[in-house]
């Protein structure tokens, strides 16, 4: 072996050793809690006879509070409330948390909540549907009971790249570079249902950060048709982790993740090539919309991660995962 060849081998080995391993989320594999059964199913009459799905969940002291989308027989959506002491067994409350009252919410309803607490205020982003346009709206509360509407924060048919509807506002609960950041779904010309990013200084007025989606659809992948934010993102030592919902060309919904720079939320660092959670159980495969798992809620307790999701637009499920040892 010549000295030059040996040096080349050493250089190649050093380059391989210096290459960081592919990113993995801090949590391990997901498993269905509650013995693989739903945690909420629709009742036979009333406000949720058609379905209960797409929940937001937050830990408030020693209780879990869930706001979930419920559809009545006319398919009008409201946000109902349930509470739990263990995050698995929930008890419904009789009074709805939010019903369609504002002009921009009637007659279609209020849909698909995300919940985050910043300071002493709970912030609820939701889709307001007036029967013509779906728009991303905001409400705030000091106690998860009294909600004040703050109006539409991302109007339909406007923006730097959005030409149609807006939905699914997932807000990071701490500032980066002096601003708050939100990942949301909008419709680009000729390619609807993609994820964008916006910033705010007061959590009320939002500005799009880019001229194009930050997470576009990917041809031939599990997210070839829809890329929609899931629960509020999490700031980790590696960056901002966003769990998102992807649908393929057959509109089968699965779960993916994306990692953004912790100092620049507009910079994508890594993205899942394959889904981390897929519809498998009969109650996830059969319902109002078949073959759907749609994650919107996340609660972290030490090493335990609880992911709450809508199943087939009919039921609510929860999956759990645990922090990897190397991530602790």
pLDDT digits (tens, 9 = 90+) for 38-81: 999 999 999 999 999 999 999 999 999 999 999 999 999 999 99
pLDDT band at 16 (very low <50, low <70, confident <90, very high): very low
Burial zone of 199 (CB within 10 Å; 0-12 exposed, 13-18 middle, 19+ buried): buried
* pLDDT of 216 over the 50 cut: yes
CA 160 to chain centre: 22
Does the structure show a pLDDT above 50 at 37? yes
Exposure b/e, 142-152, CB count within 10 A at least 16 = b: eebeebebbeb
Closest CA to 258 of 319, 208, 212, 214: 214
* Mean pLDDT value of segment 183-188: 98
Question: Is 325 part of a structural domain of the chain?
Answer: no
- Half-sphere exposure of residue 314, counting CA atoms within 13 Å on the CB side? 14
pLDDT digit string (tens) for 130-148?
999 999 999 999 999 999 9
Categorize the per-residue pLDDT at 275 as very low, low, confident or very high, splitting at 50, 70 and 90. Answer: very high
17 — pLDDT class (breaks 50, 70, 90): very low
DSSP secondary structure letter of residue 52: E
How would residue 1 be classed by pLDDT, with cut points 50, 70 and 90? Answer: low
14 is a domain residue: no
Per-residue pLDDT at 8 exceeds 70: no
Whether residue 192 contacts residue 251, with contact meaning beta carbons closer than 8 Å, is answered with: no
Identify whether 43 is part of a domain. yes
CATH code at position 289: 2.115.10.20
The average pLDDT across 180-205 equals 98
pLDDT at residue 267 is higher than 70: yes
pLDDT band at 325 (very low <50, low <70, confident <90, very high): confident
Note whether 218 and 100 are within 8 A (CB).
no
Instruction: Kindly state the greatest CA–CA separation across the chain.
Output: 82
In this predicted structure, the answer to whether residue 204 has a pLDDT above a threshold of 80 is yes
Q: Give the DSSP per-residue string, 11-51.
A: HHHHHHHHSPPPP--SB---EESGGGS-SB---SSGGGSSE
pLDDT in the model for residue 15: 44
- What would the two tokens of residue 160 be? 């730097």
**Residue 11 pLDDT > 90, yes or no?**
no
Residue 295's pLDDT is: 98
SS3 275: coil
What is the tally of structural domains in the chain? 1
Is residue 31 in some structural domain? yes
Per-residue model confidence as pLDDT tens digits over 140-177: 999 999 999 999 999 999 999 999 999 999 999 999 99
109 lies in which domain range? 23-318
Position 21 scores a pLDDT of: 80
Phi, psi angle pair for 9, to nearest 5°: -65, -40
At 250 the pLDDT is: 98
Mean pLDDT, the chain, whole residue set: 94
Q: Is 173:197 a contact under the CB 8 Å cutoff?
A: no
pLDDT digits over 306-323, tens only?
999 999 999 999 999 999
Residue 17 lies in a domain: no
């Amino acid at each position: 072996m010549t000295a030059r060849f040996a040096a080349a081998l050493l250089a190649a080995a050093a380059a391989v050793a210096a290459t960081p391993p592919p990113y993995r989320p801090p949590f391990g594999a997901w498993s269905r809690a509650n013995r693989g059964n739903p945690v909420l199913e629709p009742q036979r009459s009333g406000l949720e006879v058609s379905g209960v799905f797409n929940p937001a969940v937050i830990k408030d002291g020693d209780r879990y509070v869930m706001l979930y989308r419920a559809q009545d027989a006319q398919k009008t959506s409201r946000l109902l409330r349930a509470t739990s002491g263990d995050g698995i067994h929930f008890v419904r409350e009789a009074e709805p948390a939010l019903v369609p009252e504002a002009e921009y919410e009637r007659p279609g309803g209020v849909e698909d909540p995300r919940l985050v607490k910043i300071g002493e205020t709970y912030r609820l982003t939701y889709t307001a549907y007036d029967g013509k346009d779906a728009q991303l709206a905001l409400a705030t509360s000091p106690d998860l009971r009294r909600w004040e509407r703050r109006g539409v924060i991302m109007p339909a048919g406007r923006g730097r790249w959005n030409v149609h509807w807006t939905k699914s506002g997932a807000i990071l609960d701490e500032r980066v570079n002096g601003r708050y950041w939100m990942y949301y779904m909008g419709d680009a010309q000729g390619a609807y249902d993609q994820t964008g990013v916006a910033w705010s200084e007061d959590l009320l007025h939002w500005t799009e950060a880019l001229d194009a989606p930050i997470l576009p659809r990917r041809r031939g992948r599990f997210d070839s048709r829809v890329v929609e934010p899931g629960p509020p993102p999490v700031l980790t030592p590696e960056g901002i982790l966003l769990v998102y919902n992807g649908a393929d060309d057959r509109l089968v919904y699965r779960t993916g993740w994306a990692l953004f720079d912790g100092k620049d939320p507009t910079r994508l660092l890594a993205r899942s090539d394959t889904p981390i959670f897929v519809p498998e159980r009969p109650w996830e495969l059969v319902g109002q919309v078949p073959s759907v798992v749609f994650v919107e809620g996340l609660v972290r307790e030490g090493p335990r991660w609880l992911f709450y999701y809508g199943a087939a637009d009919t039921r609510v499920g929860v999956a759990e995962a645990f922090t990897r040892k190397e991530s602790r």
